[in-house]
Structure 1
Amino acid sequence: MELGFDPGLVLLGLAPLFLACIGWEIWYWHRRRVAQYTLVDTLSNAGLALMHQGADLLANLLFVKTVYSWAYQHGLHAFPNTWWSVLAAFVIQDFVYYWFHRASHRIRWMWASHVTHHSSERLNLSTAFRQSLTYPISGMWLFWLPLAWLGFAPDLVLLVVGLNLGYQFFVHTEAVGRLGWFEKIFNTPSHHRVHHARNAHYIDRNYAGVLIVWDKLFGSYVEEVEPPVYGIVRQVRSHNPLRLTFHEWIAMFRDVWRDRDPRHLWKPPEWGEKPAERTAGS
């Protein structure tokens, strides 16, 4: 499927819209005299976003597109290049995203990348930019490989991944309340506030990308009731993008070395710790 543009750049193409929405949200909270943004936190988020985009573009250039092309050429070719196959790709990718996201909270190797996104004690639209450059190392791209093998062209796979992540930008906000019937089907700011909270009742819930139905089907859905407290259980007191990127990798390998036990790499983040010190993904 020829798209006429590089699908790996879709998030960069949406950047003006994202920045305009952040500007609106800053104005919204300023009018209400709520200190929802700080300069240092926002700059940290921006730095992490640039590092993440650079790593993703480099990974696509070096090996991801090649691997997807190989899977596509040797796969099932079960989906023709039609308009409905684009919709099918979007829904299937969203289903796979749910499991990728759930694994990112329950497998420490993957949490080492994902923890960066959860490390802010604020939730605003700029928090969506707070991503890790280590996702290619932790294996995010592997989860989309089955789509190419099923018969979705590599460019289409990258496009629907980008659109899914683009949608998720808009759920990182406290400026939007409940959305009625929309919340029964789609991921919303209310659902995602739960996901970013470290309240005991909210930890490891609401993994949805676009469709909240996966959480409801697989038992990970919780409604927003009590006010969320954002951040991670073992909070990192830093705005340094490098520390935010690598602190959990360092802690994970330190635990492997200390215990001489490689299971720290694939067990949940809280595995092997005393109950009072548990640091389950939040």
Structure 2
Amino acid sequence: MPEFPNIIVFAIPFFVLAMLLEMYVTTKQQIRTYETKDALSSIAMGLGNVFLNFLSKAIVLLVFFWIYDNFRLFTIPVAWWSFVLIFFADDFSYYWFHRISHESRLFWASHVVHHSSQKYNLSTALRQTWSGGFYSFVFWLWMPLLGFHPAMILLQMSISLLYQFWIHTEAIDKMPKWFEAVFNSPSHHRVHHGSNPLYLDRNHAGILIIWDKLFGTFQPELKEERVIYGLVVNINTYNPVKIAFIEWRNMLKDVFFGRKSLKNRFLYLVKPPGWTHDGTGKLSDDLRREWLESSLQSQSQLKED
């Protein structure tokens, strides 16, 4: 088994230094991006994620190795060209994991943690799930089946996570046009963290923004539409345990309580956040459509005036 370093653990000092630098830069720019309790909650979530990942990664490795050893179709060697292939394979997997995490409540229950802050800074990048690592790896199962070594897969997943740290900032406005056209950036990812109807469930990219452009989920950041961070309905707590599990409680309450059919109980797991069996809920597409209709009406009235 090839041995690769746990780059996330080694990067922790870099995270701390980068946050201190960001605080200095945003203070000079007169951007109030940090709030003490919020940042401490994000750091607590990050530390919990690191500790729980020792267990979840052991499970993931066992599953990956079981598939790799017994069912792989090819044997892809550890070589420079295989790292090029796995870069695109992993980023493609991440896009679909991330997109489904917004479109299926079962996956949203763990991913909502990352969107629960109403601030946007480098500490927000550390606000990671305590539960997702135990089941989100299903989106990567095709990779050991194809023949990528499990150690390579976990390394590339860590590289992707490390890349996504720096894009959680308001200190950088826009990157060069060529960069914005191909790669995920602070501007693109600010959109992803927006609760504005126009920005909901957009820009799911990990490293390459090309997937969003290819599959119709890209939305540029607009100067006239300032990003409002957080959730459509914010949870308003700094308690790490509540942040980690409040949506699990809400989801399981919808599944197991109240009068509804077995089919509808199951649909509360697979349908998007906001879905209700009685049709009273609103999905992100509904909110976006209402917002666009309202905007068009406002523009029409302004022209008439």
* Band the TM-score falls in, shorter-chain normalisation: over 0.9
1:174 pairs with 2:178:
no
Aligned to 2:208: 211
Cα distance in 2 for residues equivalent to 1:55 and 1:36: 28
Deviations 1:58-95 (A, max 9, x none): 1122x211111111112112522211101111111000
Are residues 54 and 183 of structure 1, via their aligned partners in 2, closer, same or farther at CA, if it must alter by over 3 Å? same
SS of structure 2 residue aligned to 1:258:
coil
Aligned to 1:250: 249
Of stretches 42-51 and 75-84 in structure 1, the one that deviates more from structure 2 is 75-84
Aligned to 1:269: 273
Amino acid at match of 1:227: R
* TM-score under structure 1 length normalisation: 0.93
Cα distance in 1 for residues equivalent to 2:29 and 2:41: 24
Amino acid at match of 1:245: A
Structure 2: tracts of 5 or more residues without a match: 288-305
Amino acid at match of 2:147: G
Amino acid at match of 1:173: T
Describe how 1:1-282 pairs up with structure 2 within 5 A: 2-3=2-3, 5-6=4-5, 9-61=6-58, 63-73=59-69, 74-137=71-134, 139-179=135-175, 180-225=177-222, 226-256=225-255, 257-260=257-260, 261-272=265-276, 278=282, 280=284
Runs of 4+ aligned structure 1 residues displaced above 6 Å come to 273-276
Aligned to 2:300: none
Deviations 1:231-253 (A, max 9, x none): 00011110100111111111111
* TM-score under structure 2 length normalisation: 0.86
1:238, 1:244 within 8 Å by CA — same for their partners in 2? yes
SS of structure 2 residue aligned to 1:26:
helix
2:113, 2:129 within 8 Å by CA — same for their partners in 1? yes
SS of structure 2 residue aligned to 1:24:
helix
2:125, 2:168 within 8 Å by CA — same for their partners in 1? yes
Of stretches 29-38 and 105-114 in structure 1, the one that deviates more from structure 2 is 29-38
Greater Rg by CA: 2
Amino acid at match of 2:251: M
Amino acid at match of 1:201: L
Are residues 82 and 112 of structure 1, via their aligned partners in 2, closer, same or farther at CA, if it must alter by over 3 Å? same
Structure 1: tracts of 5 or more residues without a match: none
Cα distance in 1 for residues equivalent to 2:192 and 2:259: 31
Identical aligned residues as a percent:
40
Q: CA deviation at 1:273?
A: 6.9
Are residues 81 and 158 of structure 1, via their aligned partners in 2, closer, same or farther at CA, if it must alter by over 3 Å? same
Cα distance in 2 for residues equivalent to 1:37 and 1:103: 29
Cα distance in 2 for residues equivalent to 1:34 and 1:86: 39
Q: CA deviation at 1:12?
A: 1.1
Aligned to 2:293: none
Cα distance in 1 for residues equivalent to 2:76 and 2:152: 12
Q: CA deviation at 1:33?
A: 3.5
1:233, 1:280 within 8 Å by CA — same for their partners in 2? no
Of stretches 77-86 and 188-197 in structure 1, the one that deviates more from structure 2 is 77-86
Equivalent pairs counted in the alignment come to: 277
Amino acid at match of 2:165: F
SS of structure 1 residue aligned to 2:258:
helix
